[in-house]
Structure 1
């Protein structure tokens, strides 16, 4: 494996972590703003699953 492939893998991992954290943040914002009984990370997981279902 050369440096270019290794760099690309790192970029993919960083992008995936960013997507996960963004979904968790969106869930937390929705949970707090709408005073929902579900925790923010659970709502974020639902957002992630819906995103994968529609776009993935």
Structure 2
């Protein structure tokens, strides 16, 4: 499936929520602390684990 925002051909739930350029901008504008090295590119589990720990 193609991401409507950035045009990447491998759209996934992880991409939409964490790694798409638009999602990263939303995270940057929020007051929620993001991981130092950014969200994990391939694992939604790792990303949600981080969110729950925070």
- TM over 0.5, yes or no? no
Q: Which has the higher helix share?
A: 1
Could you state the TM-score of these two structures normalised by the residue count of structure 1?
0.28
TM-score (norm 2): 0.29
